[in-house]
Amino acid sequence: MGFFDRLFGKNKHKEDCNCGCKEHEKKANVNVGDAPKTAAKAAPAKAAPVKEPPKEAANPLDAFPLLPGAPPGGKIKLAIYWAAGCGGCDVSLLDTDERILTIGDMADIVMWPIASDGKESDIAAMKDKEITVSIINGAVRNTENEHMVKLLRQKSLLVVSYGTCACFGGSPALANLVPGGKDEILDYVYKQCPTMKAFQETQKAPVIPQTSVKTEDGVITIPELYDVVKSLDQVIDIDYSIPGCPPTQESIRQLLAAVAAFAYNGEALPPKGTMIGVSSKTLCDECPRKKEMKRITKIVEPHEIDVDPEQCLMDQGILCLGPATVGGCGAKCTRAAQPCRGCYGPTSVVTEMGASMFTAIASLFPVLDKDPICGEDDIIDIMASVKDPLGYFYAFTMSKSLINRSVKEKGGQ
């Protein structure tokens, strides 16, 4: 049995593919569950070439060729799921412009809540590993997120952790800094914040969402929040990661090129664990600003100074997480005179991004023997001027930090 027969199975094309294409009907088809975990290199007959775009393309997707119809073995199955995130990652996939149509040529989209009508029950009814690729964005912060990502893992050959929330917890994981967990968050959001407080005062009893409510039409349930927000790999096994808030078009292109080469030409997929769209260096290495490693005596926000368009932002006293952030985005923020906030996450040699950044800043204070301008009090004053240091240094990576949540001491505040 050939590679695509093993990948897609035989004689199921008509029941599984609803594209109506006569070309497809001639071809054997779909049972991804039989596929090997690591695709062997194999070349199906008459495979369509998948060209790599020229490296110099201004917009990499502009040069990415529209693919010539469905893969030789029939469409692959693709699921896209949005867990705890803002939706930007889902929208970034639509940034493929008209190439979204080629994704439709290549794949039956079995789930994509923002764009199609696949239901949880449809996924549950599928065979294990029947979905070729599941692209999951968002962190895991409630029972529904956990159920869905575990279900998609079970039904998928490959799972891609897509975007910073999925890879590192992202912004949702800042909830881990609330010591009282979900109870404290719900209490503030529904009782203490000024607008809700005014509303609650008009009610006989506080109105707070319940996970289960009986109504005339039956019981309505909503997912239960967790106290700790987790990254995707803390809940399920993943095959590839694509960081970014959201990932860049170039990252999406690399993912699509790998999937297309796999589906059309039977080429081997990248090794398990590959981080797609990142470089082996730090963001500073791809930032065009001139870095002189000036020592800083004051921390400022970009709007407080006339930002020099060529000089390193750190040299100008603006906190920039470039030294601790992995390269890959092309220094999008620093090119626009905004500091890097670290959305791509740490480099492979850094396990604790916040601590790494603290160290980088500490090295910039002028406290060496030869020019001891700053005393201890001065340093404390400078650091105190960093507004919300935990929120700044762990804005995207809280779930993956060594201490990944605040807790209340027993009996304490």
Min dist. Cβ of residue 165 to ligand SF4 (A): 3
- Are 85 and 165 in contact, with CB atoms under 8 Å apart? yes
Beta partners for residue 98, in sequence order: none
Nearest CB to ligand SF4, comparing residues 191 and 341: 341
Min dist. Cβ of residue 235 to ligand SF4 (A): 16
* DSSP-derived 3-state class of residue 311: strand
The binding track of 324-363 with respect to ligand SF4, each residue x by CB under 6 A or -, is -x---x-xxxx-----xxxxx-------------------
Q: Which of 287, 299, 357, 364 binds ligand SF4 (CB under 6 A)?
A: 287
322 lies in the site for ligand SF4, by CB under 6 A: yes
Location of structure tokens 């492979």:
348
Q: Which of 10, 182, 191, 291 binds ligand SF4 (CB under 6 A)?
A: 291
175 lies in the site for ligand SF4, by CB under 6 A: no
What Rg value do the Cα atoms of the chain yield, rounded? 25
Nearest CB to ligand SF4, comparing residues 335 and 405: 335
160 lies in the site for ligand SF4, by CB under 6 A: no
236 lies in the site for ligand SF4, by CB under 6 A: no
- Are 397 and 169 in contact, with CB atoms under 8 Å apart? yes
93 lies in the site for ligand SF4, by CB under 6 A: no
Which residue spans within 89-247 are E strands per DSSP?
107-111, 131-137, 140-142, 156-162, 212-215, 218-221, 225-230, 240-242
Choose the binding region for ligand SF4 from 15-23, 52-60, 219-227, 323-331 (rule: CB under 6 A): 323-331
Q: Which of 89, 133, 136, 350 binds ligand SF4 (CB under 6 A)?
A: 89
85 lies in the site for ligand SF4, by CB under 6 A: yes
Structure token pair of residue 377: 């009090």
Beta partners for residue 225, in sequence order: 142
164 lies in the site for ligand SF4, by CB under 6 A: yes
9 lies in the site for ligand SF4, by CB under 6 A: no
Min dist. Cβ of residue 308 to ligand SF4 (A): 10
Distance CA 323, CA 364 (A): 12
Structure token pair of residue 55: 């490296």
DSSP codes, 47-89: PPP-PPPPTT-SSGGGGSPPP-SS-TT--EEEEEEE-BS-SHH
Considering only residues 374 to 393 of the shown chain, the ones binding ligand SF4 according to CB under 6 A are none
- Are 395 and 174 in contact, with CB atoms under 8 Å apart? yes
Q: Which residue is nearest to ligand SF4 (CB)?
A: 322
Nearest CB to ligand SF4, comparing residues 8 and 396: 396
Q: Which of 79, 314, 350, 398 binds ligand SF4 (CB under 6 A)?
A: 314
- Are 138 and 85 in contact, with CB atoms under 8 Å apart? yes
Min dist. Cβ of residue 363 to ligand SF4 (A): 12
Task: Give the strand pairing for 225-230 and 140-142.
Answer: antiparallel
Distance CA 13, CA 56 (A): 39
Structure token pair of residue 304: 């407080």
135 lies in the site for ligand SF4, by CB under 6 A: no
Helical (H) or strand (E) element with 4: helix 3-8
277 lies in the site for ligand SF4, by CB under 6 A: no
- Percent helix, strand, coil in the chain, to 5, is 35, 15, 50
Where does this chain bind ligand SF4 (CB under 6 A)? 85-86, 88-89, 137-138, 163-165, 170-171, 245-246, 283-284, 287, 289, 291, 312-314, 320, 322-323, 325, 329, 331-334, 340-344
